[in-house]
Structure 1
Amino acid sequence: MRMPWLRTVEPMTPPSHEELIRLVALGDEAAFSELYDAVSARVYGLVRRVVRDPSQSQEVTQEVFLDVWTQAVRFDADRGKAMSWILVIAHRRAVDRVRASQASQERDLREGAKEYQASYDDVADTVESNLEAERVQQALETLTASQQEAIRLAYYGGYTHQEVAQLLDIPVGTAKTRIRDGMIKLRDRLGVA
């Protein structure tokens, strides 16, 4: 016996990804949640294969879904499937993250090399300066005491010829002569042309 008031209820089919994206474009949070539940595992899997790092893959996956939320109005069902559109976004985001990470590593490497080179150059310069200072000191010791004194005041003390003369209580011409003669001897000892 058939009961006319009872109708058979057709089982509800879940909305397609395309329908969910259309609803997301309208700001439907429930549709977004349903879409997330339906496709997040595939998105994460794709991102994970590209990025490899689990925590960065999670971050990129979040960025992908933020893009899906903000760009859902751009989705055109006539141009392709929703899942393909989402996976393209995911792939682009993942590749961008890998490139950014590589660029960061290369930048850090370059900076590290510069710092290493700078510190190496500083040490080399210091050693060279110390050796040169030692050579000059040895050459200075071959001068007369009066020449040494005048040169030390003028070049190490930073005094003018006039001030050297006053400090040594000698005429300016004598101070200049001692400095000039001492410098000539130093030049010859050090082999400076």
Structure 2
Amino acid sequence: MAGDRPVNQPVPSGYGRAGRPDLAQVMQRVAHGDKEAFSTLYDALAPLVFGIVIKVVRDRAQSEEVAQEVMIDLWRQAGRYRADSGSVNTWAATIAHRRAVDRVRSAQASADRDRAQAAREHRTAFDEVAEQVETRLESEQVRRCLRGLTELQHQAVTLAYYQGLTYREVAEALRTPIPTIKTRMRDGLIRLRDCMGVTT
């Protein structure tokens, strides 16, 4: 303990008069690969680093990982520390906050990618069903199913899918309001889907 040291005994290198580590000096030793100095640095900064990280990341397990990454950064980047740019605590806190924010952003980006992939897979499944229906429109089965539609449904679907007319053009050809055409086509396609056994 500092209080047990004789008054005339010099303070060990890297420690202040109160017996606390002078982190700027400790950092210089770490920069030269001094593992004992890094142990001192770790003990002094790990609680600060973890406290900053967990406030940002919020998940304890991930915060522990990030805190370890920060301490490794401090070991690797020790030679870049400059005392005239601020205290070691401030420097470590800056690195910790940056690492924590990076982890949160990375997690968010990963979640976004997962959601986008799920959406793509859903869209692909939908497109495959649509393609299946479109292919079957050329088959005899569809022609048989068409006969099960009402006259207006049959005409609307035939004009739209066989002749490529728009809703407006179908409405004009059949002299029927567009909303009615849309409804009949929707109902007709549902009946066609059920008739052909197409499932989503």
TM above 0.5, one fold? yes
Q: Deviations over 1:123-157 (max 9, x none)?
A: 23323433542234679xxxxxxxxxxxxxxxxxx
Which consecutive unaligned segments of at least 5 residues does structure 2 have?
Answer: 1-5, 12-18, 147-157, 164-200
* 1:80-131 Cα shifts (integer Å, max 9, x gaps): 1000001101111111111111111111111110011101221233234335
Percent identical among aligned pairs is 45
Maintained 8 Å contact 2:24/2:88: yes
Distance 1:53 1:126 in 2: 46
Q: Which residue does the alignment assign to 1:64?
A: 70
SS of equivalent to 2:21: coil
Question: What is the identity, as a one-letter code, of the residue corresponding to 1:56?
Answer: Q
Distance 1:8-1:53 versus aligned 2 partners, 3 A rule: closer
Partner-residue secondary structure (3-state), 1:14:
coil
Q: Does 1:135 align with 2:142?
A: yes
Which residue in 1 is equivalent to 2:58? 52
State the 1:22 CA deviation. Answer: 1.1
CA distance in 2, matches of 1:71, 1:111: 38
In the alignment, which residue of structure 1 is the partner of 2:174? none
- Counterparts of 2:102 and 2:133, CA distance in 1: 46
| Deviation, structure 1 residue 69 | 0.5
- Partner of 1:77 in structure 2? 83
- The aligned counterpart of 2:49 is 43
Could you say what secondary structure the match of 2:85 adopts?
Answer: coil
Point out where structure 1 has 5 or more consecutive residues left out of the alignment.
Answer: 1-6, 140-189
* Matching residue of 1:30: 36
Q: Which amino acid aligns with 1:32?
A: F
Task: Indicate yes or no: 2:23 matched with 1:17.
Answer: yes
Report how many residues are paired: 137
CA distance in 2, matches of 1:10, 1:52: 46
Distance in 2 between residues matched to 1:17 and 1:64, nearest whole Å: 16
State the 1:18 CA deviation: 1.2
Distance in 2, Cα, partners of 1:67 & 1:93: 10
Moved more, 120-129 or 73-82: 120-129
Equivalent runs, 1:94-105 vs 2, <5 Å: 94-105=100-111
TM-score (norm 2): 0.61
Distance in 1 (alpha carbons) for counterparts of 2:82 and 2:40: 19
- Check the 8 A contact 2:24/2:87 in 1, yes or no: yes
Counterpart-to-counterpart distance in 2, 1:115 and 1:106: 14
**Cα 1:50–1:8 shift into 2, 3 Å:** closer
For the pair shown, the structure with the greater C-alpha radius of gyration is 1
Q: Structure 2 residue aligned with 1:115, among 113, 118, 121? A: 121
Q: Which residue of 2 aligns with 1:126?
A: 132
